[in-house]
Structure 1
Amino acid sequence: MSNDTSALTPLSRLPNFDPRAVPVLRTDADLPAVSADRLRPEALAQRFALPPSWQPEVTMERRFANRQPAQASVLVPIVLRDEPTVLLTQRTEHLSTHSGQVAFPGGRMDDTDATPAATALREAQEEVGLAPEHVRVLGSLPIYTTGTAYIVTPVVGLVSPGFSLQLNPDEVASAFEVPLAFLMNPANHRRHAYEAEGVRREWFSMPWMDGGQERFIWGATAGMLRNFYRFLAA
């Protein structure tokens, strides 16, 4: 389930800061996991067609980048295996923002993109070679604003098997899949907090062991997955 071209890279450009070393405050094992029947393809489609009343839990990070806000989209690609998975990427180390981090395929909206979904599909094809014809878009989750001033629309899509990936080596170090059931179980959602220069930052992490390698899912990606959990659990 993985397509790896590099070793684990640093997860933050901040000096003396590694999110993997920040203590876990707690997990949310007291919350129920999303049941398997709600993770079936048609149940997911029905949930987006008739969404419940719910509220996202995480929508904005404390801003730490001095740059103009930019509209962006990511694809939350749910691969239709016997047990559904989510396709994620590990970004290359040299990128200016979120380098080395686990992320959804996605990026900045272009003027030629008609919709956020068009951005997500284009970026997924450019980054990992996922052809749009393999993706059935279900809908979007609430906008998530990152600390680097990206205003992100997460677009959820079902990905039919049989696709092949071609990673863009300038942006993506590796691609891998994580079981959707693992990500939709809050017992695997770890809470962290870190204070520096009088500013407290809080985030979730959802580390996944991909063979012998830990994929440290945290920050914006984990925040959007947490919102997806709230949406499906509502």
Structure 2
Amino acid sequence: MDFGSVLNLLEKGMEHPLPGKEAQLFMSPNPVDMRRFDTKLPDNHRRGAVLILLYPNEKKAFFPLIKRPDYEGVHSGQIAFPGGKMEKEDGDEIETALREAWEEVGVHPEQVNLIGRMSTLFIPASNFLVTPVLGYSEAIPDFVPEEREVSKIIQTAVSTLYEPSFRKQKILEFSDNFRLDTPYFEVDKEMVWGATAMILSELLQILENGKR
């Protein structure tokens, strides 16, 4: 999909009500953890934000994903968007997303043109309410991974998300004998699942809404 068409569809799609839960559920692991959609969140939940940054690469629309390094934590080694926890100095989730993208992958905030915010999604495993922020850059950013937080940057074509061969499903087994029937996108031979896949699912629905 070419960059101009994707931007046009997103801007039109964002004029419609956000698809939210309905789109997110399409890529949710099963059984669904309905705490993700509970209007009453834990009192101690934390707020965070991620940046979905579209940019042109040979006229096609791309966005960066990152692979987290291996560490002692629930998201060790997983694929995610640049993003993280809201800090006291952040005025809102947009500032959080821009700051984190600068710190993690070297995207200058001034380089980002904002489109808007997508639906929030609660992540029970880490107790975060995440706001995806949608934006674009007119040029390919000069990505620089922050080694402690990013093991690699995956430049991902939007068109990949539409390819049936890159949409897969598998059973994930965890140490406590808990199993999840998990839809995912395969990107650069990596498994993009969970909250990241659910956010991408809403992005795809926003693009579809832009065709109306």
Alpha-carbon distance in structure 1 between the residues aligned to 2:183 and 2:108: 30
CA offset digits 1:164-189 (Å, max 9, x no partner): 12211110111121110111456633
Equivalent residues of 1:39, 1:180 under 8 A apart: no
Over aligned residue pairs, what C-alpha RMSD do you find? 2.9
* Alignment pair present for 1:151 and 2:129: yes
Equivalent residues of 2:79, 2:190 under 8 A apart: yes
Q: How does the TM-score come out when normalised to structure 1?
A: 0.71
Show the counterpart of 1:74: 50
Map residues 139-218 of structure 1 onto 2, 5 A cutoff: 139-146=116-123, 147-185=125-163, 188-194=166-172, 201-209=180-188, 214-218=189-193
Q: How does the TM-score come out when normalised to structure 2?
A: 0.78
Give the Å deviation of 1:53.
6.5
Equivalent residues of 1:109, 1:119 under 8 A apart: yes
- Unmatched runs of 5 consecutive residues or more in structure 2: 36-41
The aligned length equals 193
The DSSP-based 3-state class of the residue aligned with 1:58 is: helix
Give the Å deviation of 1:75.
0.3
Show the counterpart of 1:220: 195
The DSSP-based 3-state class of the residue aligned with 1:119 is: helix
**Fraction of identical pairs, as percent:** 26
The DSSP-based 3-state class of the residue aligned with 1:42 is: helix
Map residues 1-234 of structure 1 onto 2, 5 A cutoff: 39-48=5-14, 50-52=15-17, 54-56=19-21, 57-58=23-24, 62=33, 68-81=44-57, 82-94=59-71, 96-146=73-123, 147-185=125-163, 188-194=166-172, 201-209=180-188, 214-234=189-209
Show the counterpart of 1:10: none
Query: Structure 1 stretch 162-171 or stretch 148-157: which is displaced more?
Result: 162-171
Q: Which AA in structure 2 matches 1:205?
A: Y
The 4+ residue runs of structure 1 with deviation greater than 6 A are: 35-38
Q: Which AA in structure 1 matches 2:13?
A: R
- Unmatched runs of 5 consecutive residues or more in structure 1: 1-34
